[in-house]
Structure 1
Amino acid sequence: MSIDSASVLAALAIVAVMVFSLTAAAERSRRHASRERQLRRATIELGELSSALDELDDEATPAVMLVYALRLSDAFTNPAFAAFVRDQLAQAPGAFDDKFDEAKPAEEDSELADALQATLRTRPDLVVAFVRAFSAAISAFAERWPECTPYVEPLRRQILAHPAAEARRVVTLSNRQVAGAAPGLAVAA
């Protein structure tokens, strides 16, 4: 049996297809493993969020802190909010770079900031739990919906310095998404 050039070309083509297929399969496997790690980290962060919310379930926790903690948890675990953020980022990549236009803090900002300050003096563990809940919710959101990271990263840097303002920022944005999807369902921020 002799080997002709057509047979060699056919064999090379088969080898090339096999190499391409194996490379593509390896890449898919790598992407799936990476995504699985992200989702595992999101699950851990959701556990941290749940733990922090349990700590806030205390008679000494001011109502405004509880309300914001729950609103933040709802926003950052809501697939519709993630889709809204993703769509906004697709339309305008810098959509979330700027702060809200209000020059002075809103009344609830002050109420939340005052509650955080007062609680810090009497029960610092509750303020830590509030910030942990906020941080865990953001981290879970970023791991679950990595395409929303351009929104999340600036927020992560701000929550320790300005937890009340950043909490209101997220709740306001979430309310805009809810109002756009179903007018009348947004909760006052």
Structure 2
Amino acid sequence: MPTITDPTILSSLMLTISLGTGFLALDARRDRHRAREVELQEAISLLKLHCDTLERLDDDDMPDDLLGLVVDLNIVLHDPDACRQTRALILDEDARAESRERNSTGVSADVEIEAFRELMGRRSDLAIAFMQCLVSGLLAFEKRWPECAGKIAPGLPRIIVSPVEEAHRVVQAAERFRSWSTPVTAAAA
């Protein structure tokens, strides 16, 4: 009768363990890919909603300040590096306090918030479309870039309560990040 120290049995046992571990690793990898595929499908759906609401904002009654914010946000949505700043700008109280500064176009969050309030009174359909545009865009941003996973959804209540202010923060933090990283990128090139 062969013993456990028999080289053939030890080799067979090691091969079986190696194959089992390999199949488990493949299974885990397949699950990660499926989960990522689901996230990307959600991002596609959210981006479609975002684009549909953008079309509804093409209206003469839409304030220029709010349209500027939407344009700035769209630039951020396509910048994977901007997600490094999203957790701080949505959840960190210190970052929130600093974010009332003017954005790159010189418009303060207060001006945008006032424009949104006026729009709510005049054209609630446009205000709702604007809010849908911001929320769907920010959530698509989180789903699209794996680095952003879990960084925006926890701040969703704040985004819904004050969509203009939160979108302003995202744009401002991304602009600040770009201004910090641009010289490094240019020097690397």
User: TM-score normalised by the shorter chain: which range applies?
Assistant: 0.7 to 0.9
Q: How many residues align?
A: 176
1:100 alignment partner in structure 2:
96
Q: 1:21 to 1:150 in 2, by over 3 A?
A: closer
TM-score in terms of structure 1 length: 0.80
- Structure 2 distance, partners of 1:65, 1:18, is 58
User: What is the one-letter code of the residue matched to 1:131?
Assistant: M
Moved more, 49-58 or 109-118: 109-118
Q: Which amino acid is 1:130 matched to? A: F
- Specify whether residues 155 and 71 from structure 1 end up closer, same or farther in structure 2 by C-alpha distance, changes over 3 A only: farther
1:157 and 1:116 map into 2 onto residues whose CA distance is: 18
Matched, 1:23 2:24: yes
Distance 1:44 1:103 in 2: 30
Residue 103 (structure 1) shift: 10
Aligned identity (percent) is 25
**Post-superposition shift, 1:139?**
1.0
- Once the two structures are superposed, what CA deviation does each residue of 1:16-51 show, in whole Å capped at 9, x if it has no partner? 111111111111111111111111111111111111
Letter in 1 for 2:17: A
RMSD of Structure 2 on Structure 1 (CA): 2.7
Structure 2: distance between partners of 1:153 and 1:22: 34
1-structure distance, mates of 2:90, 2:122: 38
Q: Which residue in the other structure is 1:186 paired with?
A: none
2:49 matches 1:54: no
Q: Could you list the runs of 4 or more consecutive aligned residues of structure 1 that deviate by over 4 angstroms after TM superposition?
A: 93-96, 102-107
**Consecutive unaligned residues in structure 1, runs of 5 or more:** 184-189
Distance 2:50 2:24 in 1: 39
Q: Kindly state the Cα deviation for residue 78 of structure 1 after the two structures are TM-superposed.
A: 1.1
Q: TM-score, normalised by structure 2?
A: 0.80
- Aligned AA for 1:35? R
Q: Is the contact between residue 131 and residue 163 of structure 1 (CA under 8 Å) also seen in structure 2?
A: yes
Distance change in 2, residues 1:114/1:105 (3 Å): farther
Instruction: Structure 2: state its 5+ residue gaps.
Output: 184-189
